[in-house]
Structure 1
């Protein structure tokens, strides 16, 4: 079975809460890895996602340990959409 990992970076403008994590995650840029495997038996190349991970940086709260947290892809997309919606309706600070 052939597999691949797709990497992307997502940005959160505000803090967010990930289910199954007992802490608030600060705003910032986060690396996301999506593992996919080749679907065999069809006449074209197609992959299916089998796992999604978000990389959380080391902080004083988590005893300076980087964490790779499994997250449902639908939950990640929901968190991104909520963050974008919040950013769109929040008034921007004036200079």
Structure 2
């Protein structure tokens, strides 16, 4: 079963072919993008489409989330922020 993203989410996926995205095709990418740029409506949709484990796994492992986003959602999903990859200082 294909679950396309709501049409009003297109603004968050400006750099990809929106019509090819489904809730199951690229879940990590979709979760990252909506956590970073979404609002309450997008968060409600995320929580209805994906399990808490799927979302927290992305939260824990993503390098694409900003520390600000990571900090907020660590509190929201009750995850220790120290365990988030996006909160770790990068050395180049």
Settle same-fold status: TM greater than 0.5: no
| Larger helix share, 1 or 2 | 2
TM-score, normalisation: structure 1: 0.29
What is the TM-score when the length of structure 2 is the normalising length? 0.30
Q: Which one has a larger percent strand, Structure 1 or Structure 2? A: 1
